[in-house]
Amino acid sequence: MRQEILKFCISLTRQQKRFILLCLDAAAAALGLLLAILLVTGGLSQPYGAGGLAPHVVAAMGLTCVMTVYLGLDRVKLNAYQLSSLLNSSSIGMALGAAAMLVDKMAGGLLPFGVFPVLSMVFLIMTVGARLILKAVLMQIYKQQKMRKRVLIYGAGQTGQQLAAALATDIEVQTVAFVDDNPALQSLRIGGLTVYPPADMDHLLRSKAIDTIVLAMPSVSQSIQGRIASRLKNSGCDVHILPSFADLVRPGALARQIPPVRLSDLLGRNRMEDELPGVRDTYTGRNILITGAGGSIGSELCRQLLQAGPARLILLDHCELSLYRITQELAEISGPVDIVPVLGSVCEASLVRHTLAAHDVEVILHAAAYKHVPLVQANGIEGLRNNVLGTKVLADAARAAHVERFTLISTDKAVRPVGLMGCSKRLAELILQDLATRSTTTQFSIVRFGNVMGSSGSVIPLFQEQIARGGPVTLTHDDVTRYFMTLSEAVRLVLVAGAFSRGGDVFVLDMGAPVPIRKVARQMIEASGHTVRDADNPNGDIEIVVTGLRPGEKLHEELLIGSDMLTTPHPKIMRAQESHLSEIEMASLMQSLRLGIETRDMDSMNALLRRWVERAESGSETQDVATKIDPSRIA
């Protein structure tokens, strides 16, 4: 029965809904008049009888319909029937009483005066009551058809109350409770919701099956909000911070926010971080070193590793600010896990050896690398020093210290590269593949994936900034494509690969089809509420401008060098079978590389890369373009 009512309500047109509301108000006018006479006189007045009241009834119904249409009450949705609509209904009720009194005077004035104010009140009660009952019935039917998101509001002040009132009209959301630090508010009921103390948070999350927590405390400092948000991150709920509603309309207070592109559209496949198997046993109770810990991937590795319960996280980064930020963040949520920040570079052999020995490191996740393609292309010597020699120093130290597992985070740009960044990452892969053949204690593995959405230097934040400025959006080539994955997917892949590793493995993720970057740009422009300006739409808002491929950039990226692949315990993670250099070849390569870096001889570097790195057929010669690159194209 409820399903049939729901289908009937959904199938009604706007005109049909308006007609139903008009009929309700007209019926309320007619019934209100009869009920007012009964209440005041005790029965229908004898001189009128049933037929004698016809002019009054017709006039009442006609006037009600006219005023309802004039005041727009038939166009007000049941969900939006609030104080202003109630005042309009009151106006109709008073006009109805006055009109009924005028008609009665014209007909001889036989009804008592008390009938007319009672008519106004009865009409108001009936028309408002009818709408509220309809709204309650329909809301209940809608709610039973959907899985509603359960929301807890942290902060029972003015902003929290306004948020609860707004969410009360949303059929997708159910607000279940308030939490507030103020003892004066605790145990009170506000808007039908109980206010709990923060000490009850864990019990509330379990007993009320909370999906989302909204911090509605704009008056407290950002540091306090941040501490509360950090404390709630491990609750398993989505945590959001809400500004005050006054801030939303304050000039310049909030920049225009671009809605995110749907991940399913952008990735070309389903997200899979929830599909990956658990990896807790591999990292529980271990001393783990994360290099590049302050970067996008490094910091997310730290966050997810905390959930596995390691004994110690050693954070190595050469950027003081990045290291400080991730250390402060983890300190709030680390619990019994020991957090050790180490400021320095992986190129410093003495620092690396001391760190591994002092903290008895058992697992290394190597995320430290220069990865911005144009910048590395413009600074090739330093890119090779950091990405290649740094990996060699760390890997050799790990082998000497008998570290159990070493995982290198690589990139699809290492497959048949055309630029220095890709070449440097491929050389780093070759170093690990060589060491894996000679190591009996350390399991070396490589994880290779595409672009991580939202990471520093990625195309998504760049497009967001360009759209916020009003364009144009810059595209390097009309046909350029890239593989995409989310940050949480990338990190889960790294952690799972570490658990699957048997030594010398190259793991890749089944990332679906590569995504055209022009499609991404168009989706983001349209998601922001703008239109694309092109030949078909010359009056559009934002133009997509093609600037040409930057130095070291490929038109299409690849994930595999060869075609041979092996399966893993997870169907969407593959183990690539790829050739590598011999120990003698590797020693010769590293000797020439060190010499070229120390003498800053880019010509010898180009010759070295042409000899040892399999390059893309369409790629141009790698060269030191520090003095040739256009700085405006680095972004």
The residues annotated as belonging to the active site are: 413
Cβ contact 137:198 at 8 Å:
no
The angle that helices 296-306 and 320-333 make with each other, rounded to 10 degrees, is: 20
Q: Which of 606, 592, 622 is nearest to 373 (CA)?
A: 622
565-567 and 573-576 strand pairing? antiparallel
Cβ count near 513 (within 10 Å): 10
Cβ contact 389:594 at 8 Å:
yes
Q: Which of 527, 462, 452, 459 is nearest to 486 (CA)?
A: 452
Q: List residues bridging with 152 in a β-sheet.
A: 177, 213
Instruction: Report d(CA 389, CA 122) in Å as an integer.
Output: 87
Residue 318 is classified by DSSP as S
Instruction: Report d(CA 261, CA 28) in Å as an integer.
Output: 49
Instruction: Report d(CA 560, CA 446) in Å as an integer.
Output: 12
Structure tokens at 376: 């590395």
Q: Where are the alpha helices (DSSP H) in 307-453?
A: 320-333, 349-358, 373-378, 380-384, 390-400, 420-438
Peptide bond into 243 cis (omega under 30): no
| Measured CA distances, 130 to 170, 269, 451 (Å) | 20, 48, 56
Structure tokens at 513: 């089809």
- Three-class SS of 235-281: HCCEEEECCCHHHHCCCCCCCCCCCCCCHHHHHCCCCCCCCCCCCHH
How far is CA 173 from its chain centroid? 18
Structure tokens at 374: 């144009």
Q: In what order do the strands lie in the sheet with 405-411?
A: 338-343, 312-317, 287-291, 363-366, 405-411, 443-449, 505-509, 573-576, 565-567
Instruction: Report d(CA 370, CA 385) in Å as an integer.
Output: 10
CB under 8 Å, gap of 24 or more: what pairs does 541-546 form? 541/470, 541/471, 542/467, 542/470, 542/471, 542/472, 542/473, 543/471, 543/472, 543/473, 544/472, 544/473, 544/474, 544/475, 544/518, 545/472, 545/473, 545/474, 545/475, 546/474, 546/475, 546/476, 546/477, 546/478
Cβ count near 152 (within 10 Å): 23
**253: phi then psi, degrees, rounded to nearest 5:** -70, -35
Q: List residues bridging with 411 in a β-sheet.
A: 449
Instruction: Report d(CA 526, CA 566) in Å as an integer.
Output: 41
Q: Where are the alpha helices (DSSP H) in 42-108?
A: 49-52, 54-71, 83-106
